[in-house]
Amino acid sequence: MDSKSDANMLEKRSAALEKERARRKAVEAKIQEIEARYLSLFENASDGILLFDDQEVIFRANPKILQMLGYCFADIKGRKVTELIHPADLQKMPSQIHRLLAGEAVTIERRLRCKDGCFISFEQSVKRIGENMIMSLYRDITARKRVEQETRDALQDAADSETQLEEAISRVNTMALDAEVAALEMSQIFNATSDGICVINKDSQISKYNRILQDMMAGMGLAMTKETCSDVFGHAFCKTKRCLLNRILKDGHDRIEEEIEMTSADGDKRTLIVTAQPLLDLTADTVGIVASYTDITDRKQIEEELRRLATTDPLTGAYNRRQFMERAQEEIDRSKRYNTPLTLLMLDIDHFKAVNDTFGHDAGDAVLKSMVSESMVQLRGSDIFCRLGGEEFAAILTHTAPEQGVLAAERLRKALKALEVNTATGPVCLTVSIGVASLVQADLSLEQIMKKADDALYAAKDQGRDRVVAAE
């Protein structure tokens, strides 16, 4: 009976292990799919994108900005982004790095120098998206600036001509003609702009909207009608104190810009920037608002993906060393402030070089990914796990006393030892050596506790590997 029971138990465990392997493979495939999709968003974005650090030094650019300016990446890598800006623009409005580092989003017009020495006018939207990462998006507005200048010139010509008219009737006829032309031009501009635009009267009724907004709403499976704005858009600000129409009509704001979230007919979330300005009649009374809508969902996804890429290891999905150091220091400070226990684990895969040499580097990568996936399962959601480099890993166990940390490390060691990784060249098993150190002194720093855990790790290796050793 005992042998039969043991066989049944082994069979159940084997089935559970196979199910868990399938689940991990599905998760890994999904992660790879998401990474590929967001990298494609960055590479194929219709706007130019530059990434630079807090010293304004460029370290990444997408193909669109390189194409628009005529550079290859080597031409601008390591240069300050301000070197590309027209000197007159910098004199008029200097670098806004202080506002960006303070968390503000800045949208201004800049002229950037092309490789051939000419300048292109851009609308520049800049935002800090990480500890040492700032993203700047560039939309070419050269055509728009040309139209604006032509419009100003035309208006000036009209004004000059008007002063030369001798007959009142001629002035009236000319003004009527100019008004007709202006109405035609405004109608064309209204429908040619890249933003969705609508006019909302005092009663919250939509009186006019352009084709772009109609297409934008249709893309979300929603209908654009001349009903009340809350019936059409239905976002979180509607019928609240943050209603854009009421803030302009009652509070007298000249311009309001807000980020809103809308839900499409199929349940997807879309992020839009809405800008509202007063609509004035001939007596300068406010009779409603003009609202423009820009869909920034792709931009938000790029920002989020860039933030993820900046903080995680691309192979395993664990935190990278830089993010680990930041998060670990935060937890140490919190542990000291509230006098709570904290334990650090330093892990190293035993004889990992032999895995690469015997089974190949693809198998080695599979081992690293499986090791991280299993570790995430064994650790708590509040714990911090990272890949320091190569086959070396670390974990911060919050609210964990020394003896609890040793038990957690031993549980993790056993789970990883039981793990079998299927690779193209055959199944691979692994063991790990773990060093454990706890925050026991009020003045112990991150570097000190890492040194203690690292020394314990080397002691585990000296004692034969596949074991847990606690620092003294």
CA distance 8 to 415: 21
- End-to-end Cα distance, the chain: 47
In this prediction the pTM is 0.46
CA distance 362 to 365: 5
Q: pLDDT (tens digit, 0 to 9) for every residue of the chain, 472 residues total? A: 567 777 777 777 777 777 777 777 776 666 666 555 656 667 887 889 999 999 999 999 999 999 999 999 999 999 999 999 999 999 998 988 898 888 888 899 999 999 999 999 999 999 998 888 899 989 988 888 887 788 787 777 766 666 665 564 455 455 545 545 544 455 555 565 667 888 888 888 888 888 888 888 888 888 888 888 877 787 777 878 778 878 888 887 888 888 888 888 888 888 888 888 888 877 878 888 888 888 888 888 887 777 777 778 889 989 999 999 999 999 999 998 888 999 999 999 999 998 998 899 999 999 999 999 999 999 998 999 999 989 999 999 999 999 999 999 999 999 999 999 998 888 999 999 999 999 876 657 889 999 999 999 999 999 999 999 999 8
Nearest to 54 by CA among 102, 97, 108: 97
Q: Where are the domains of the chain?
A: 1-44, 48-140, 149-192, 193-311, 313-470
CA distance 104 to 128: 8
Q: What b/e sequence results for 149-162 when a residue is b if at least 16 CB atoms lie within 10 Å of its CB, and e otherwise?
A: eeeeeeeeeeeeee
**What's the token pair of residue 369?**
């990914």
The pLDDT assigned to 330 comes to 92
Contacts of 261 (CB under 8 A, 6+ apart): 235, 236, 269, 270, 271, 272
- Establish whether domains 193-311 and 313-470 are of one fold: no
CA distance 186 to 192: 10
Which of 305, 374, 391, 403 is the catalytic position?
391
Neighbouring CB atoms inside 10 A of 2's CB total 6
Stretch (H or E) spanning 469:
strand 468-470
48-140 CATH: 3.30.450.20
Residue 197 has φ and ψ, to the nearest 5°, of -130, 140
206-209, strands of its sheet edge to edge? 206-209, 196-201, 286-295, 269-280, 256-263
Is residue 391 annotated as part of the catalytic site, yes or no? yes
3-state SS, residue 273: strand
**What's the token pair of residue 254?**
């000249």
**What's the token pair of residue 68?**
């628009």
313-470 CATH: 3.30.70.270
User: In the CATH scheme, what architecture does the domain 193-311 have?
Assistant: 2-Layer Sandwich (3.30)
Sign of CA dihedral 83, 89, 90, 95: negative
Q: Evaluate whether 258 touches 237 at the Cβ level (below 8 Å).
A: yes
Q: Evaluate whether 274 touches 251 at the Cβ level (below 8 Å).
A: no
